[in-house]
Amino acid sequence: MLAMSEVNCIKTLRNEKGLSITEIAKTMQVNWRTAKKYGDEDQLPQEKIHLKKGMMYDEKWGEIVIDWLEEDLKLKKKLRRKNKKIFEDLVKEGFKGSYRTVCNFIQEWKVAQEDEADKGHERLEHPEGEAQVDFGIMEAVQDGEILDVHALVMSFPASNTAFAVPMPSENLECFLGGLQLLFKQAGGVPLSIRIDNLTPAVKKVRKGDSEAELTEAFRHFQQYYGFKVQVCNPRKGNEKGHVEGKVGYVRYNFFSLPPVIKDLEDLTAQLEQQLINDRQRIHYKKEVLIDELWQHEQKQLIKLPEESYPAFKQFLIKFNKYNEFKLDGHLIHVPRARNYVQLSCVTYWDSFKVITNDGEILLSDARPYMRKRRFIPWKEILKDWLKKPRVVGHSRYANYLPTRIKEYLTVPSLAVRKQRINELLTLLLTHDMNDIDQNFYDYIGREAEEAEHPYGVNWTEYDALSPKGTEALNHE
């Protein structure tokens, strides 16, 4: 490219001196085409277009990430995937690039989205043995349905260590029962616990110079285990900012995609192991393994008592004329209840029992909220897949599909995918996903049996090996 002075000289020789292109080329010692370009053609400014290159733009990876980001925008922010999770999922799909490449791409995409303002808070110092506790709502998938999980998280700011247990609610029994499980995982009781104004623990919030008033049940629990309590000021979440950060850390690292679980006991074991593994990293500030810091801090904890505190609530029951009383928003039927003058209900975090004044147990069962589930919104999800059938294979919801339905939808042909998605949408008008899976061949048709499966599964033989199938064979 010529300098502007040379371009101006060519223009002058051509327009004012009247030299030919050949003469200009010889005089300026440039190529004839260059002399022609700058002598006769108008040099108008043009917008520069910088084409983005790289594997995120030239291959499928960018599209996959955008699909995930757009899909997550429909969820609450706390349920969206973090960059680390997106990178790990891409690697599973065969991605060979670096974590930084993915982060840069996501950052560029987010520039077009709304920006959030940073909010700074004063840094607090925390001694060893001091813990912070808070609840965080997350999601898991059990039996093909969504389960709301109230994760009780306990963090130790001095070592950056955290423990978490999933609970079905945030009532008194769940709070006290969850704390006991956390103490057991930590191997001791913190010297002090900082909490916000949780209803199960705080009866009267702090106002002015007056101290917060604890509930009687929590005060007895505190005295039994011997820890001190620090209650945050109202609307001052930064006073327990470490545990709030840990709630987010647990959510984004372990619940960004709701895990598939057998029950809460299974999820408790998973979380405990994941947080044990998480301690095998360097502390962000002290440059020492978190596990080493925790082993030192753990020596400051109060020894656990030999017996656990009996965390329960007991109240008298009022029955209607059908021998029913209300618990957790559900009506519970107690046979022959009206034959007794007075009955009591004893509730634990996961179960309840109905007893007489003499202590006879008339009814014992799991608490109604232990069975509380929400259906996965398959209709809305399938409608989105219908617009972008290529997203089915790597959608966050694909792993929640029953196995044979997932294989039925992930055929190579996008046209066939759209057709099958439409079929499922029609069936979902009158059936749920579990029903469709159980009666797969009756609803979908025998052609599905002849379709190619990636793993060569013969579902007819598979069904015959299931308990119901085995029972049918034995009957024959």
Every domain of the chain and the residues it spans: 4-40, 55-111, 130-298, 313-371, 376-475
Q: Are strands 330-333 and 324-327 parallel, antiparallel or unpaired?
A: antiparallel
Rounded distance, CA 152 to CA 247, Å?
8
Residue 432: count other Cβ atoms within 10 Å of its Cβ.
Answer: 15
Return the closest-CA partner of residue 382 out of 351, 425, 349. Answer: 425
pLDDT bracket for residue 120 (50, 70, 90): very low
pLDDT bracket for residue 122 (50, 70, 90): very low
**Are 87 and 100 spatial neighbours (Cβ–Cβ below 8 Å)?**
no
pLDDT bracket for residue 205 (50, 70, 90): confident
Backbone torsion region of residue 96, taken as left when φ is above 0, otherwise alpha when ψ lies between -120 and 50, otherwise beta: alpha
The DSSP letter of residue 257 is S
DSSP SS3 for 203 = strand
**Is the CA virtual torsion 414, 420, 423, 424 positive or negative?**
negative
**Are 193 and 230 spatial neighbours (Cβ–Cβ below 8 Å)?**
yes
Q: Does residue 1 surpass a pLDDT of 80?
A: no
pLDDT of residue 368: 93
Residue 288: count other Cβ atoms within 10 Å of its Cβ.
Answer: 12
* φ and ψ at residue 351, rounded to 5 degrees: -150, 170
Query: How much is the pTM?
Result: 0.66
**Are 400 and 434 spatial neighbours (Cβ–Cβ below 8 Å)?**
no
Backbone torsion region of residue 373, taken as left when φ is above 0, otherwise alpha when ψ lies between -120 and 50, otherwise beta: beta
Q: Max alpha carbon distance in the chain (Å)? A: 121
pLDDT bracket for residue 76 (50, 70, 90): low
Architecture of the CATH domain 130-298: 2-Layer Sandwich (3.30)
pLDDT of residue 270: 93
pLDDT of residue 125: 59
Average pLDDT, the chain: 83
